[in-house]
Amino acid sequence: MDLALTEEQQMIQDMARRFAVSELEPVAAELDRAEDKDKCRQTFLANLKSLAELGFMGLNVDAQYGGAEAGVVSFSVALTEVARACASTAVTMSVTNMVGEVIQTVASEAQKQYYLPKLCSGEYPAGGFCLSEAGAGSDPAGMKTRAVKDGDEWVLNGTKMWITSAEYAGVFVVWAVTDAEAKKGKGISCFLVEAGTPGLIIGKPEEKMGQNASSTCPVIFEDCRIPESALMGKLNDGFRVAVSELAGGRIGVGSLALGIGQAAMDYAAKYTTEREQFGTTISSLQGPQWMMADAYTQLECSRLLLMSAASLKQSGKDFSKSASMAKLHATETANQVCYTAIQLMGGIGYTQECPLERMARDARVTSIYEGTSEVQRVIIARDLLSNI
């Protein structure tokens, strides 16, 4: 099997790397601290617009809708490069691409023509994926948000939690129960709701441990009326759509985690070649060498798992188990190697003078959102056991 990137994929990776180094890396720490909130917001939005202009907000969206039509592998490698510089920007890019893909997969032609060009061009700075609730995170089928038909409108009521980029999103993909009598997970439908719709309220941004530049908010629906045409796909078929899209989203989060881990280890490895102890550089000592060897080996395993899952998805094959394996390994590895990087640097790695403490905080949530590591293990085990 040829694991080399194509010329186009390499070009996209290089473009993402150059943008990340020149535009994202210099401001990542400032955006994380957000001492001047208005300035940081404007900088963040400007970077999102630039990503859209590069084609990175619709990498797997067809060109006829304004997308780059570059494929899943290109999406993964580009996201990894962006995450090496700024995880907050990367998660917004990941979710916006996921929103674009679900619209392309499920929406009507009219919905695609209206919403996708706005997402891909940056007219909408981001897209919102409204699935999780306070009591329905790992168990999204237990959601309480309701959509009730009233004439030629739907009326939404409920609260979605931990919605990435909620403050910036131009459109939200929203899941709600449309048949309360149906079996759990069978009476859920999917809707498109534009920002600014009366009754759609963006709550206060969460104060988080990491990925602070990414606005994560509750999204509240209070008698939010949307037209009948806002229904996306078939009535009561929304949960199947959500499960399918989450599998693709796991490739995004795994790629993001890989980028954080690579950046942390590269920074620490360079430091070990410069820092001297016991009359020699740290890099010449066997202990640190083994730490780096183990870390980079695990990062390479993450990359290969992600490429496998992305290739399967791109070729239209079943990729759910592969995506869960990639997400599980990449996110757990990112957490581990960030701590290894700090350990290699000693006390200075624990200070804000270095980016490692930010990277460690940014990496932590990757093993939680888009399905916890525990949920990934359940998915993998079920698939394996189903074949016995």
Number of other residues whose CB lies within 10 A of the CB of residue 166 = 25
Active-site residue (options: 7, 245, 370, 374): 370
pLDDT at residue 245 in the model = 83
Query: Taking the model in full, what pTM does it have?
Result: 0.96
pLDDT of 243: 85
Max Cα-Cα span within the chain: 80
CB 19 within 8 A of CB 54: yes
Q: How far apart are CA 11 and CA 55, in angstroms?
A: 12
Q: Indicate the residue type of 297.
A: T
* Sequence-separated (6 or more) residues with CB below 8 Å from residue 330: 253, 254, 255, 257, 258, 261, 302, 305, 306, 366
Identify the pLDDT of residue 264.
Answer: 98
Please give the pLDDT value at position 242: 85
Q: For the chain, what's the residue count?
A: 388
Indicate the average pLDDT of the chain.
96
Tokens of 308: 């496998």
Q: List Cα–Cα distances, 79 to 75, 161, 254, 264, in angstroms.
A: 6, 24, 10, 16
Domain extent listing, the chain: 7-125, 129-237, 240-386
Output b/e per residue, 59-70; b: 16+ Cβ within 10 A: bbbeeebbbbeb
Characterize the bridge pairing of strands 200-202 and 188-194. unpaired
Does the domain at residues 7-125 carry the CATH identifier 3.20.20.100?
no
Mean pLDDT by 10 residues, the chain (388 residues): 88 98 97 92 97 97 97 98 98 97 96 98 97 91 95 97 96 96 92 97 96 96 97 93 88 98 98 92 95 98 97 95 98 98 96 95 97 96 93
Query: In the CATH hierarchy, which top-level class contains the domain 240-386?
Result: mainly alpha
- The predicted pLDDT at position 1 comes to 62
> Is domain 129-237 annotated with CATH 2.40.110.10?
yes
Rounded to whole angstroms, the Cα distance separating 96 from 172 reads: 10
370 is catalytic: yes
CA-closest candidate to residue 154, choices 169, 187, 176, 132? 176
Helix (H, G, I), strand (E, B) or coil at 248: helix
pLDDT at 137: 85
